[in-house]
Amino acid sequence: MNNEHKFTKEFQDSLNQLKEEVNSLTNQQELSSLKVKSLEADSEKTAASLTQFNSEIDTFMKVHKYSAQDVLYKIIHDESIPVKKIR
C-alpha cells in the first residue's frame, strides 16, 4: 500500500508539472500570436506609407517636369559625386 501511495503521488506530481508546462506553452503561443498580429499591422502601415511616398515622388517629378530618365542621367553624370576610378 505504501508503494502504491508513493507511485500515485509521483504520478500526480508529474501530471501537475505537465499541466503547468502546457499552460506555459499556451500562454507563450498567445503572446506570439499577438506579436504576429502587431507585426502584420506594422507591415501594412509601412506598405501604405511607401505607396504614399512613391505617389508623392511621382507627383513631384511631374510637377517639376522630371522624367525618370532625366533624373538617372543627372545622377550618373553628376560631377559633384566623387567617383572612385577602377583601374
| DSSP state letter for 79 | T
pTM comes to 0.54
33 closest CA partner among 22, 47, 41: 41
Query: What's the CA gap between 57 and 72, in Å, rounded?
Result: 14
Number of C-alpha atoms within 13 angstroms, CB side, residue 4? 1
pLDDT digits (tens, 9 = 90+) for 45-71: 999 999 999 899 888 888 877 777 777
pLDDT tens, position by position, 15-39: 999 999 999 999 999 999 999 999 9
The residue type at 60: F
